[in-house]
Amino acid sequence: MIYIAAGILGLIIIHIFDIVSSRKISSEVKPCVWIMGSGLLGYSIVMLCLESNILPLPLWVTWLGWGLLTLSLFLLVYSLFINLPFHKTYIATGTGDKLVKSGFYALVRHPWIHCFTLVLVSLILVSKSSLLLIAAPIFILLGVVLVIVQDKFFFVRMFDGYRQYQQETPMLVPNRRSINAFIEGLRLDRVK
């Protein structure tokens, strides 16, 4: 249970990052907060995967998990570190100079939660950890709660035009309009 608590603390620290960004605290603190929260969450997930209580899953499920893990890690890295401007988002003081509404952020306002969910599901399949099976819904639920807090209280203050973005793009569940905007964005990127 200590690893589940560490993961919860890591998620909370990751979201304290928004407070640090919005208060324009020095650029040395901002990456440290993000690294500390991510490191704690990552450590807890690794330790949960290494727990000895193994789920009785067939071998093909493990191979499916490895494929899903590869895809979901790529999507998570893309949504957090490529789709968003890395330096402005995670290192520079403040919140960056513009709201990102393209790529996965045209589909939903918080695409990382989908990618994070897929990573956790794939890790359950790969590690067969019964403790991760318990922790994953807790982490996902806490992630959704923290995303709601971000959306309602932080991002409307941090980014110009965020209220309009809220009206145009769904928070977590894509709709027909957001799917079309995402596809159109892919077409425009291909033309460039």
Ramachandran class of 174: left when φ > 0, alpha when ψ lies in -120 to 50, beta otherwise: beta
Per-residue pLDDT tens for 89-131? 777 776 666 889 999 999 999 999 999 999 999 999 999 999 9
Task: Give the residue from 118, 120, 111, 121 showing the smallest Cα distance to 174.
Answer: 111
CA distance 38 to 49: 16
Total residues belonging to the chain: 192
Q: What is the 3-state secondary structure (H, E, C) of the chain?
A: CHHHHHHHHHHHHHHHHHHHHHCCCCCCHHHHHHHHHHHHHHHHHHHHHCCCCECCCCHHHHHHHHHHHHHHHHHHHHHHHHCCCHHHHHCCCCCCCCCCCCCHHHHCCCCHHHHHHHHHHHHHHHHCEHHHHHHHHHHHHHHHHHHHHHHHHHHHHHCCCHHHHHHHCCCCCCCHHHHHHHHHHHHHHHHC
d(CA 141, CA 117): 10
**Higher confidence at residue 188 or residue 73?**
73
pLDDT at res. 11:
95
Residue 25 pLDDT exceeds 90: no
Residue ranges of domains in the chain: 2-191
Task: Share the mean pLDDT of the chain.
Answer: 90
Whether 123 contacts 83, CB under 8 Å: no
In the block, tokens 């991760």 appear at: 132
pLDDT band at 53 (very low <50, low <70, confident <90, very high): confident
What average pLDDT does the segment 62-82 reach? 95
Only one residue has tokens 């045209």, namely: 106
pLDDT more than 90, % of the chain: 69
Query: CATH assignment of 2-191?
Result: 1.20.120
d(CA 142, CA 9): 10
Q: Which two tokens stand for residue 31?
A: 């990456």
Interatomic CA distance for residues 135 and 61, integer angstroms: 20
Q: What is the pLDDT of residue 104?
A: 94
Instruction: Say if residue 47's pLDDT is above 80.
Output: yes
- In tens, the pLDDT along 158-192 reads 888 999 999 999 999 999 999 999 999 888 776 66
Q: What is the predicted pLDDT for the residue at 96?
A: 66
pLDDT top residue among 114 and 154? 114
For residue 172, what pLDDT is reported?
95
* Location of structure tokens 């100079």: 97
Q: What is the mean pLDDT of residues 148-159?
A: 89
